[in-house]
Each structure stands twice: as C-alpha cells, then as structure tokens.
Amino acid sequence: MKITQSARTVISWSADIASQALSALTLLSVLFVGTSTPIAEASATQLTREQIAIIYMLLRDSGSSEEPSLPNPNAAADYYASTVQTQVVEAICLGCHVMNGFASSSDLVFSSGAEDENLEAIRSYLRLRNDGGETLLTKVTGGLSHGGGVQLSVGSDGYEALAELVSLLVAEGDGSGSTSEDLFFKEVLLTDAKETLRRAALILAGRLPLESELTLAQSGEEGLRSAVLGLMQGEGFHDFLIRGANDRLHTDAFVNGSFSEVSDLNGLAGDRYPMGETLWELEGAIWGYRTGIARAPLELIAHVIENDRPYSEVLTADYTMVNWFTSQVFRSDVEVGSFDDPKIFAPGQNRGSVAYDDQYFSESVPGFGTRVLEHSGFIDYPHAGVLNDLTWLHRYPTTETNRNRARARWTFYHFLGIDIETSAPRTTDPVALADTDNPTLKNPACTVCHDRLDPVAGAYQNYGNEGFYRDKWGGLDSLPDTYKYPEWFDIAEPTLYREGDTWFRDMKPPGIDNAVQPSDRVDDSLSWLAEQMVNDSRFAIAAVKFWWPALMGAEALIAPEVETDADYQARRNAFRAQELQISTLASRFRSNNLNARELMTDMILSPWFRAKAATPEASDRSVELADLGVDRLLTPEELDAKNEAILGYKWDKWEDDWLGNVKGFYTALHDRFRLYYGGIDSIGIKERGRQLTPLMANVAERQALSLACGVTALDFHDNEKLSDRRLFNMVEASTTPLSEKALSVDVTTGAYLDRGAHEIDLPLSAGTKELRIRFNNDAYDEGSGNDRNLYVDAVEIYRDNQLVTVIEGEDFQNTTGFSQTIYGDGTAMGGVEYVDLDGSWTPVAWNLWGTGYVSFNVNVATAGDYRFRIIAWGSDYGDGIPANMTATVGATNVADQTVGSEAIKAQIQHFHQLMLGETVSRSDPEVEAVYQLLLETWQERKTHTDNSHAWSSPSEECLFPRDINQSDWESGLGLDPQQMIYAWTSVMHYYLTHFDYLHE
C-alpha cells in the first residue's frame, strides 16, 4: 500500500480493524475519493478531519472487540517543542531566517524562543507552498537556490526531525500533497551477480574475479555480498583506498612535488625533531622520511578500513602511521619495514618533537641542517587521527589572519559533509563589506558562516601555520606574535592576549555547533573535537559521500537550485533519490559499528552502482538516470591495473627503487600521461576528468598502439599451450578464416632417403581447398655454408583410407592455385630440388630455402574423411635443431564456414567477456563486426610482399611490454607466416580503445 509517514500517523490506529471493514472502506472511497479503490491506496492528505471521524465511527461499529484510540491532536506541537525548536530552528535556521537576517524577506521567518510562533510560521509556509513539504525539505538540503546552501543532509538527525514534523503537519491537513517517493528504479535494469562482481573486482582490487568468487557470487545475494567483501583485501584494495582517500584530501601533493616543511629534516622539521639527524648521512633516507610523512594520513584511513576498525578511528586514533624512517625520527618504538622499503607502514605514536623554550639549544651543521643539542623533553603528542596528522595540517596551512579557518572548512566538508562556503550567501552590501569592527564576530553578514566555522577553527588552536604543535617560543601556544605583541609591529591596538591563552579572544571559543570545548581539554582540543564529530549523525553521511566518487565515479549530487531550469524536476528527482539512498547507507553504516568495508559492500550492491540500462519506458528519464551505474570512466591508475589484470602488462612499466617513489615503479599511464588522461596531481589539478575528452581519447589510442602488437605477439610466443595463454586460448597463430586443420611438426634431419611422413586427418566438404606448407626456422651460415632448409617430397591425399591422388613436390608449381613467398625485391622463395640418384640429377622435391610458404589448391570431389600425408625432410644447420614445418588445410572462399572461422569467432566472443565484461552469443552482430575487421585486415596484409613477420621494419614497429632478448628472436618471436598475428593486433587495438574497456 502507498501509505506515507504522515498517512500512517493518521490511520495506523485503525489498521487492526481495517480487515473487518473492507466494505465500509470501499463505500467511503466512492463517497470521498470518487473511486472504488480502497482508501488505504489513496493519499492520506485527501481526507478531511470530518471524513476521518466518519471512518472512525464506521469502524467503531464494525464489530471490533477493541476500542481504537484517536491520534494525538497535539502531536505536531509536542514534537516541535521537544525536538525541532532546539535541534533545527534554534541551532540552524535562526542564523538567517530572523528579522534583519539574510532571509528576513523570505516566506519563513522565526523568532528566538518563540515556540508557538515558529511552529505557526512553518504551518503557514506549508499552506503557502501546498506541496506536502517538498520545498521546505529540498531547501534545507541546498536545493531550489537556497541562499543558505546545504544546512541538513538527508538522513541527519536534524533532517529526520524536520521531515517527521512535516509529516505530522501534512497529516493535519496543513499543506496538501503526498510526500511518498516514486519508485525511482522501477524502469532500470541492474547488473547480475557476475557483472557486479567483475566491476567491483576491477575497481576495488584492480583484478578480475576468480572462478571461485564468481561461483560464490552467483549462489545468491548473501553469496554476492560475501564475494564483494572478499575483494577488500590485498595490495589492489590498499591502492584503491589510498587513491580514493587522496582524491578527497589531496595530501599526495607532497608526493608529487609540493615542498613540505613538516618533512624537511634539513629545515624546519629538523629544528623540531632532534632524531632527524640520524638519517642525514644515510643515502636516500631523506626521501624515505618524506614518503613516510606524506603518506601517513592516507595510510591511516587504509589501516582503519582494512582492519575493520570503526571508521570513527580515522579521527579518534591515538596514533599515526609510520614507516621505517618516520618511526626512527618519531621515536615510535615500532618495528616496521626496512630502510629499503618506505611503503610499509604500521601504527605508531609521534614522540619525537620538542618545543622552542629556554632549554632549547641547537647548532647549524653546514650541508645538513639543525642539530638540536639540548631540549626540555619530548612532547606527548595528543593524537587525533587525521585531524592533527602533520601532512593534513600542512596541506591546509593557516596564516595569522586565516586563523585555522581553512582547516575548519575542510574538516566540515570531509567529515561532516557540510560545505561552509555554500552554506550561506556572500553579501554584496558595501556597508557590510566595509565593516572593520571584527565583522566575523559581530556582523550578521559574516557571522552567518563564522558562528559555525570559527569554533571548529578554535579546536585547531594548538597548531601553527605549518602544522607543528605549539610552535611559538616557550611551547605554550601557536598564537602569532602580531596578536600577542602588537607593539612589536607598530600596531596601535592594545593586545587582547593574556598569559596562558591558546586561542584568540576576539573569536568564538573552541567548540562545535552548540558545544564548547571544556577547559580541561585545551591540550588535546582536536581529540575532543573528533569525539564530538564521530557521534554526530552527519559523520556517517559524510563518510558515504567521501567514498561515493571512488566507487561510483562521480561526486554525490547536489540539489538543483533554479526551478525554471528545463531539467529542474528531473535533477531534483535524482537528487532526492540519491539522498535517500545515502541516508539508508549511513543508517546501515552506523548499525554496523561504522565498518567501512560493510559500507562499501552496501554501496556496491545498491542500484546506484549496479544500474546498467533503462527500459524503453524510461526513454524520457535520461537526465534523472545520468549518474547511475555502469559507464564509469576508469582513472589512469584503474586502467593501468585493468591492463595488467587482463593483458598481463602495464603500459611502459619500469621498476624504480628510489625511496621517494611511493609506488616503486613508473608507467606511461600513471606518470607521463596521467594528467592528460584525466588524472590529478593534488597540487593544481584536483578534480578527475570523468568524461572522455579528445585529448584523453588520443592517450587511449597511443596506449593501444603501444600495447596491441606486443601483447598479441608475446601471448602466442611465450605460451605454446592454449591453456597457458592469457589471451589467445582458442586459436593458434596459424588459425585463419580459411583453416580447417593445421599441423606444426619438426621434420627428420638428413637426406632424401631419410624423409618421413606427417599426417593431417580431418573431415571435408566437397569443393576447392588449399594446402599451405610453411617453413618456420630457416638458418644459414655464410662462413661454413651450413644451411637449414625444408624439402617436401610429395603430398598424398586419402579419402576414407583410399588413396585419391599424389602431388609430387617437383610438380607443385604446375598445380592449380600455386602460390609461394615473394620477397620485397620481387624474387620468389623456393624451387625444385634435384638429387643425385644413381649418377643422375633428378627432380625429387620442392625446396623451401628460406622462411616462407608454398601453397596450392586441391579439388575435393566428394565429402568425407580425408588424410593429407606430407612427406618431407630437412637439412642440417649444425645446431641440432630440425627444420620446423606447419601444414594447413583450408577453404579457398572466406564466405565458407570453416573450423578456423568458428574458432576465431569463439575467440572474439571470449574477448567480449574478458575485455568488456559482456556476455554475447557467437552470432551476435558485434562478434560478426569484429570478425569482419579481422578478415579485412588479414586479406589486406596478404597482399603485402614482405609479410612474413607481424611487422615490417622500418616502416612498421612493434613495441613490447617486457625486455626482449636474443633467445626470443631465435625462437621465432614475431614470425607471422599466416599474417594472423598482424590481424589479431588490429582486433586487440579495437578492444583497447573500446568504450566499454575504458569504462566500468
């Protein structure tokens, strides 16, 4: 039944009687709604108080043994007084919606402490809008051009309180319209378990799912959940967490080149950390230390999640993360990693910093930095998770006038989901802008934001501009000297500073919302702040939004603002649906003890991740459904991982043991072309490209050109068995569209009398066939004259074990359809071989004296089971390696269905699943289209005179993703006698540039 919360408030008291009075309800439906549809399926707000009273009397007399109780007529007023007045109106709305406030000209104005008057103001607003509270609830979440921006997130305690009040008021009849949500996903198709797990594996773990994981996922929803959870471990998941967290915090700026004072042991950090000098003379140690400092906040987040710690520990952790280098300098007393690997981290405490005070003495050491000679003791650092991590503090530094407001702004944004800068309109009033009488504390044009922002800034009171704890002389505070001692700087205003102060007296005291930091929590004020934040309902919602882009590939939606926009309604529908989903996810997150792996699993199993297509009925909902599900552009790092998972290689990867390289390697996509392909450096470029641009398409094209030939040639070359191949596990390099069957074999080494027979058995239909014999490993030594050649004495053809015909080698050139390798200079390779038989030089065979082929047609008059018996031998080069021959029987018309064409199509079908994640039939038009691409490429390549290799130097080039040595060339790497490696390279290029390969 479509009963909203407000409807339940009105009629839930009669639910137990309804089943006994269906006929009465149907009658009332006709009377009041004009239809025989049961009233319970109509909007509750269509019923007046009088209608409800009649329903009550009918139900009372319907035979029920229990006397129903009427709903509380004062429910809305009681609820408002107990919950909404303090939590919402006083705490939030009165900042603007008061007389002389920013929103004083709006339709909703409150008065401080006036409960009845304020409730009536809301009632009047609902009557005016007449939309069931939709406008009110949308505005508080930042929509409809709300001047105050986002004040409440869907799912937060404040929002839920306001929504409940709206339900109660709407139920009273004040503001018609239903608040029920449409079934947003009713016209959306979702990925199945297999598709979902594949996407999740590539995004979360940088790999393809295992067969055992797929089996588990397809066993049911619980199995899928377990399989997704199982992906969240190992190096790939760790990389996902680091990348996703950095996309928000941007602390990798210090990995990518930004200078960091807090990690400069030759500068300011050396002044603060006496143990830093132990690393001075260790080559490269400074870079290992900088890596440890720069990555600590991201590693902390990853540690909490990977170890199933409550996500609140991201802020409340009484430790930081240290590597071997920072552990030494911080005096953490933690055994972690080694000098050679700065990428290994473990929890540890910072016990290595000292204060500037009267016991601090140091000297400058040329070429190194400051050596601390004496100090008053090491500081007991009051850890507060990420909030007072050195890199976090330094990534968002402060100044004497900013006074930690930037740190507060990003604290609100990342961990409570509030964007202070859009939470209220910026005034353009010239009088307000000219105010110099401490406007952030006194001027309503400023306090609308600063009343919320500045107390949190105050919680950062102990941290100076660069991020060091109580960095001013004496080690008692971080207040700037311009504030404490203005006379030193010829500032006329008297100081407000009093000995023992740690915060500015002309600002709001440290705190958050209505809570003020206790006086006994000054030293660890950020720890106190963290405790308040993680117990705030907004923290869980912010966590969902924090990880939303990493999983969904787009930022969480923001409420549309301009009602007159053509797509306003569609965007509002999407926003509301997503906010409700986020609220549900946050609620489950809290009930799961803030377990982030469980949260991410919920997100992946949600329709926002799994949506893959819309039904035809949703053709007019393109705007609403634009941010759903699949077609998420992979980041450079994710595409790198996908390449390695599928192809076995990253693009142009090379190892690097420099201690400053946090990955330990370089790749073209992750480093050289990262920014061109929509990546970030966390310095000047902080937003990922989420749509493929022409520049990014060029990078994808270059990647395909760099990888396609090499991975194709290596897969055939490095793995003789089909089962060992990563890619081409259904065809050989000799399998062509005309192939029926092929045989590759080493022939006997010796002379004419040593020749041996090699057989191909296969069923054939009637018609013209081709036999192609290929010599694969020619060798010649000019000095010794040693020469390895292939000699074919004859080909015998049998049908049903009866000899049909014999084609002598010396007669090949006279056979119908004869063809042979032609060199670039126009000369032919191969000819008749003469042997001295009883003193007479007699033509006995066909000599293939170089790498290449000879072919001719065979007329198959009657269908049946055939045997091709090829009699051949090879000459001795002197290295013990016999001549290698490939013989192929095939059709002559590419329109024929052959064993080869079917195998090729099966391979293409497999590639669709492997590379694109799409399950298609062999007869699918897409398979046929790719087959035609291969066929046309192959036919064109066969017209080239120099086509025995997959590439022809110097006009063509094949780039390899691994080092190639002499033995690779000697074992035939790149040989392409059938021109099929070349053809498959074009197919590989197609897949590597396919939209669905670049997206997940």
Secondary structure (DSSP) of 219-285: T-HHHHHHHHHHHS-HHHHHHHHHHHHHHHH-GGGGTTT---GGG-TTTHHHHH-GGGGGGTTSTTH
Pairing, β 767-775 against β 802-808: unpaired
670-682 mean pLDDT? 96
Of 106-120, 619-633, 709-723, the one with minimum mean pLDDT is 106-120
The answer on pLDDT for 31 being more than 80 is no
DSSP assigned state of 748: P
* pLDDT tens digits along 540-560: 999 999 999 999 999 999 888
For the chain, give the percent of residues with pLDDT over 70. 90
What is the distance between the alpha carbons of residues 441 and 405, in angstroms, rounded to a whole number? Answer: 13
What is the distance between the alpha carbons of residues 665 and 959, in angstroms, rounded to a whole number? Answer: 19
Classified as helix, coil or strand, 17 is helix
β-partners of residue 864 are 764
Q: Which tokens sit at 577? A: 């649906």
The answer on pLDDT for 117 being more than 90 is no
* pLDDT tens digits along 336-391: 999 999 999 999 999 999 999 999 999 999 988 899 999 999 999 999 999 999 99
- Per the listing, tokens 């949260």 go with 599
Q: Which tokens sit at 851? A: 């790498």
Pairing, β 790-799 against β 320-322: unpaired
What is the distance between the alpha carbons of residues 592 and 612, in angstroms, rounded to a whole number? Answer: 28
Compute how many other C-beta atoms are within 10 angstroms of the C-beta atom of residue 974. Answer: 22
C-alpha angle 934/937/940, rounded to 5°?
145
Do 540 and 532 touch, CB atoms closer than 8 A? no
Question: If pLDDT is split at 50, 70 and 90, which confidence band does 806 have?
Answer: very high
Burial state string for 454-480 with b = 16 or more CB within 10 A and e = fewer than 16 = bbbbbbbbbbbbbbbbbbbeebebbbb
603 vs 41, 199, 204, 427, CA distance in Å? 32, 13, 12, 39
Alpha helices in 837-876 (DSSP H): none
pTM, whole model, 2 decimals? 0.81
Question: If pLDDT is split at 50, 70 and 90, which confidence band does 102 have?
Answer: low
Of 13-27, 755-769, 923-937, the one with minimum mean pLDDT is 13-27
DSSP assigned state of 664: S
* pLDDT tens digits along 316-329: 999 999 999 999 99
Amino acid at the residue 394: H
What does residue 657 show for φ and ψ, rounded to 5 degrees?
Answer: -100, 15
Burial state string for 405-434 with b = 16 or more CB within 10 A and e = fewer than 16 = bbbbbbbbbbbbbbebebbbbebeeeeeee
Q: Which tokens sit at 912? A: 């669709």
- Per the listing, tokens 């986020």 go with 582
What pLDDT sits at residue 626?
A: 87
